[in-house]
Each structure stands twice: as structure tokens, then as C-alpha cells.
Amino acid sequence: MKVRLLSLAAAAALAVAALAGVALAKGGNHLTAQLRGTNEVPAAPASNRGRVEITLNASTRKVCWDFTISKIDAPGFAAHIHKGAPGKAGPVFIPLGTKFKRQGCTTAPKSAIKAVLAKPGAFYVNVHNQKHLGGAMRGQLHVDA
């Protein structure tokens, strides 16, 4: 009886570990944010809208992004990952390139990438333009489901 219970417990532990590995492969390092002008501090036009997908890899120090901008009231000139809670402006934490590009990759310190992965909701992404130097749209990061 004890051997059978131990076998069942070991099988369950292996199943949990396998599922955790699948979850990590499917999105543990893949984050998204819904970008809205009204999320900015101070707020930008509600019509400024978009989405960003961020992929982070601490071992390679790589940060990649893919923006989908539905509408923005002037062309973007920069985008960043900032440290900050919803409704609070925060410092740039990881610049997404030196000028705004819809897609791209950059490198960042492993410690910065690990911090974002550990607590994505404590960080946000925003896009800056000439009409809204502080940010034209913004969204808190979360794990992609």
C-alpha cells in the first residue's frame, strides 16, 4: 500500500512539473499590455489605443517587442518599460530601442529582466510622441494567458 501511494505521489509530482514546464514555455516569459491614452499620467486622449507583446529572456539578456497601434494622435518617437503602479508615473526601467519601432529587440541587464518577470504588474509600457512627451498611451504588463 505504501509503495503504491509513493508511486502515485511521484507520478503526480512529475505531472505538476511537466505542466509547469509547459506553462513556462507557452508564456512564462511572454508579457502583454493593453495600451490606452487614459492610462497615462497625465492622461492622453482616450482614442490613443494599442497593444504590446513583450518577450524577455534573462539568460540571453534579450528583450523583444511587437506593438499593434490602433490609433495614436501623432507618430511615436520612443517606447519604454517603466517601473510604476497603475496611475503612477515611474522611471524608465528598460528602453525599447533608441527610437520607436513597431517591432524590435534590445538587450538589458539580467537583473532588470528578472525583476520584470518576477512582478510584471509593477511595470508598464508606454509610447511617447511629440504631443504627449510624458506618454501618449500606457498599459500595465501581465503574463500572457
Q: Which residues of the chain have pLDDT under 70?
A: 1-28, 145
Domain segments of the chain as ranges: 29-143
Runs of H (alpha helix) within the chain:
2-23, 110-118
Kindly tell me the sign of the dihedral angle through the C-alpha atoms of 84, 94, 74, 72.
Answer: negative
- What does the pLDDT read at residue 28? 58
- What does the pLDDT read at residue 6? 37
CA pair distance 82, 116, nearest whole angstrom: 10
- What does the pLDDT read at residue 12? 40
Distance between first and last Cα of the chain: 40
- What does the pLDDT read at residue 15? 39
The C-alpha cell that represents 11 in the structure block: 507520478
- What does the pLDDT read at residue 131? 97
Instruction: State residue 142 phi and psi, 5-degree precision.
Output: -150, 160
